[in-house]
Each structure stands twice: as C-alpha cells, then as structure tokens.
Amino acid sequence: MIKKILIGLASVIVVAFVVIYFLAKPTLENDGSYSPSNLALSLGTVSKTDFEYIEYTKYEGEKSKILVIFTEEKNLEMKNGKLFSTGNHPIEALVPMLHLKNAGFKFEIVTPTGKPVAFEMWAFPNEDENVKAIYKEYKANFEHPKKLKDFIANSFSKADSYAAVFVPGGHGAMIGIPEDRNVAKSLNWAHNNDLFTITLCHGPGSLLSTTLDKNKFLYDGYKMAVFPDAVDEMTPMVGYLPGHMKNGVSERLKELGANIVNTESDETVCVDRKLITGASPLASNELGKLAAKTLLKELK
C-alpha cells in the first residue's frame, strides 16, 4: 500500500513539473524573439491598472510641455543569445501620462531616430478604459514620433516651455538609450534648465548616458527608485525573460554613486531635487501622482 502511495505521489510530482515546465516556457514570436511565458504573464501582468483619477488644479502656465523619450527598439539580447521581446512597458508609460495630462501638461513624443515607439503589448491592460483612451489619443504620435535629434536642434532654445523630461520604463529602455549621446544631451538640458526628470523601473538606465565620453555621472549622490537587478536575475525561472541579462541597471547606478532606496520591485517612488523615480510597474500610479503633484507645486 505504501509503495502504491509513493508511486502515485511521484507520478503527481512528475506531472506537476511537466505542467510547470510548459507554463514557464517563454513564447517564441515570429521574428525569433521570446515574449514571457503564460506563467510569467499570469504573475506579472494585469488586465486593469490601479490608476486613480484625481481632480488636479490644472497647470495653465508657459511650462506646459513634457518631453517623453521612448525606445524604438523591440529585442533585447540575453547572455544566451536569445532575444527578449520588449519595448516600453505600456503601464509605466501611460499611467504616469494620464496623471500628468489630468494635471494640465502636454507631451512631445520622441524616439532616438523617429521610428515608431516599441511597446510591450503583451503587458497592455486591455480592460482598462483610461489607459486605452490615452493610448488611442496619442497612437498617431507613437506611430510617427519626432526624432530626438530634431528636438534638440529645434526645441532646446525653448526650455521655458517645458516642465520635465520623462523616460518610461520597460526593458526596451536599456537598448541603445544608455549609450545615446542625444539622451545624455537631453538629460543635461533638463538639469541645466532646472527641469524635472521623471523615470521608473528600467527607465533609469537612461541616466547612465550622462557618463558617456568620460563625463561625471550627473546624478552622483541622488536617491532614486530603480528596478532591482536581483529580481531580473530570478525572472528566467518563471519564463519572464528567456535568459539572464547581459547588463543590469540598479547595480551600475549604485557603482556610479546613486543611492537606491528600494530592494524590491514594488510601489516605491522617490523625489530627490529634480529627479522623480519609481521602482517597477507597480509604482506607475504612485509615480504619476507624485510627478503631477510635484510639478504643480513647483510651477504654481
């Protein structure tokens, strides 16, 4: 009898491992990249966000614009050579934009070369009417953004019209953005003109660009919330990433002198001087509220 019970338990365990294996297997896309597994999607995405509608006293001054630097890149190569199907996380981009829009601000949408914005559409909250509405409103801008280089040439002289630079998160923010000199120019432009810089999750990878050409890290000593490398190291276990990443974000920023205030991928947000940051997709709503309230308070 005991032998039969043990054999039965062993069979159940084997079946469970087989089921978990297939649920945790990243999904191969047509271009050869991998999107997260069914298990990872069930654990790490939502159909509706925690966005809170707030009646802000709308800003009506001259500094009404926010430059939003999106990635145009979709595929992030892992150490094992596999490509992760990524881009900007839609919740990390659109929920903060909802708050900033409701606070009276407008957006200049750019990508490095003017190619369409890349979104992690597998993470899109399809039952969230607020997110769907702002995505639809700016869809044409996402499909035909301005070139960052052109923005630098034409708008740097109009800093008085801008309140902030926003770099949304998503692993796609780590493809080319940290090595882009025009991103560095934009962050320095914001810093030198006393504008805010807003970013979250993997978006703070953009801050690394300020060290290009052996320049001193612009945010040395700043407190910031960033997606932890330790969490990225664990996600291949559930098939979120198809392998381990070549480079993380949080540890590199820490080595440059940033003071990371979070250890989990949670709702943590932080403001230090003119830098406003959030830890993860879970922080999108809190970051939007913090950014809107901080800008309104500063610019009143």
Task: Enumerate the active-site residues.
Answer: 201
- Residue of 128, 277, 137, 95 lying closest to 197 (CA atoms): 277
Neighbours of 99 (CB within 10 A): 25
Q: In angstroms, rounded to a whole number, what is the distance separating the alpha carbons of residues 139 and 133?
A: 10
Q: In angstroms, rounded to a whole number, what is the distance separating the alpha carbons of residues 110 and 148?
A: 6
- Residue of 174, 222, 168, 200 lying closest to 269 (CA atoms): 200
The structure tokens listed for 188 are 């320095």
- In sign, the C-alpha dihedral spanning 265, 267, 268, 274 is positive
